[in-house]
Amino acid sequence: MARVICVASVKGGVGKTTTVSNLSSIMSKMGYKVLAVDANITGANLGLHLGTSSRNILTIHDVLKGSVDITEAIYKHDLGFHVLLGGIYLNDLDNVKLGMLKQKIDSVKKEYDLVLIDCAAGLGDEALNAIKASDELLLVTTPDLPSVADAYKLVEYAENNWIPISGIVVNKEENQKFKDITVNDVEEILGKKVLEIIPKEKFVEYSINLKKPVANLYPKSRSGESFRKLAHTLIGKEYYRNESFLEKLLSFFKKY
Ligand SMILES: Nc1ncnc2c1ncn2[C@@H]1O[C@H](COP(=O)(O)OP(=O)(O)OP(=O)(O)O)[C@@H](O)[C@H]1O
Ligand SMILES: [Mg+2]
């Protein structure tokens, strides 16, 4: 039975979709059966991150209109995991019943080890229905006070509704330091653990333009490595970094 993890934030553009595309690919490579769900109903773009056009395919919108079975709208991605993508047209939104999401996700939970839900920003109906369909929340924030303060609303909502929070991802960290707050500040304000800090890197933008997760396209980048560490932490597995030949040589000499 899958663990359903909702990747959520109140502030938009912090990196939820980037996190879902990378974790899906990494966790699938680790041998888990993964389903990535685009539950950003009004702004679906997981398909763009993954190079899978949502044109001429069945989508989560069709599922939430009740016109197709969820299994008909799930496709296998080249990177090994399964995807349930969103429609990209305005009329895809007609007659969508957001309240059906939990029941639809529950119906396929037994087929997977992990279901990763790409949530809409904020605390509107589409975000709340995605959260209600999940077993736990992974909060994404950028390292600035407005984003962290916004994230606190999600912490409050989760606590009021007894929804566990797996932890915090701080994305777009610049120059290996936080802009105006520290990692301790984030943990203190939100009362939750920061699981991983993902650097702001051009590689992430390049890989989104090339429609592949950065962890696949630039596996040696710091961001790719951070997403791999995050995947291991979430699953509770030890992460071993593949050292380059030069790094092995340097650590050998450091011993003497
Ligand atoms: N670590 C990073 N380094 C550099 N740029 C990044 C990084 N993470 C995300 N971005 C940039 O931020 C943009 C927004 O990321 P993403 O779409 O993942 O955010 P989101 O939280 O899903 O947004 P929304 O709230 O609109 O759904 C991306 O298009 C990418 O250009
Ligand atoms: Mg998004």
- 256 C-alpha vs ligand 2 centroid, how far in Å? 49
- Domain 3-254 CATH (choose: 3.40.50.300, 3.40.50.1400, 1.10.390.10, 3.40.50.720): 3.40.50.300
Q: Answer yes or no: is the C-beta of 20 below 6 A from any ligand 1 atom.
A: no
Q: Which of 85, 86, 72, 76 is nearest to 33 (CA)?
A: 76
**Cβ(178)–Cβ(143) under 8 Å?**
yes
Quick one: CA dihedral 5, 99, 50, 173, positive or negative?
negative
Angle between helices 145-160 and 183-190 (to 10 degrees): 30
Q: Which residue has the higher pLDDT, 248 or 214?
A: 214
Q: What percent of the chain has pLDDT over 70?
A: 94
Q: Answer yes or no: is the C-beta of 198 below 6 A from any ligand 1 atom.
A: yes
To test the pocket of ligand 1, the residue of 14, 16, 18 to mutate (highest count of ligand atoms within 8 Å of its CB) is 18
The tens digit of pLDDT for each residue in 184-214 reads 999 999 999 999 999 999 999 999 999 999 9
Q: Answer yes or no: is the C-beta of 48 below 6 A from any ligand 1 atom.
A: no
**Nearest-10 Cα torsion for 49, 19, 68, 32:** 110
Strand 75-76 to 82-84 pairing: antiparallel
Going by pLDDT thresholds of 50, 70 and 90, the confidence category of residue 229 is very high
Which pTM does this prediction carry?
A: 0.94
Q: Quote the CA–CA distance of 225 and 214 in Å, as a whole number.
A: 9
Q: What confidence score (pLDDT) does residue 175 get?
A: 73
Q: What confidence score (pLDDT) does residue 88 get?
A: 87
Domain ranges of the chain: 3-254
The tens digit of pLDDT for each residue in 50-94 reads 998 767 899 999 999 999 999 999 999 999 999 999 998 898 899
> Residue with the nearest Cα to atom 14 of ligand 1?
13
Strand 82-84 to 136-141 pairing: unpaired
Closest ligand to the CA of 121:
1
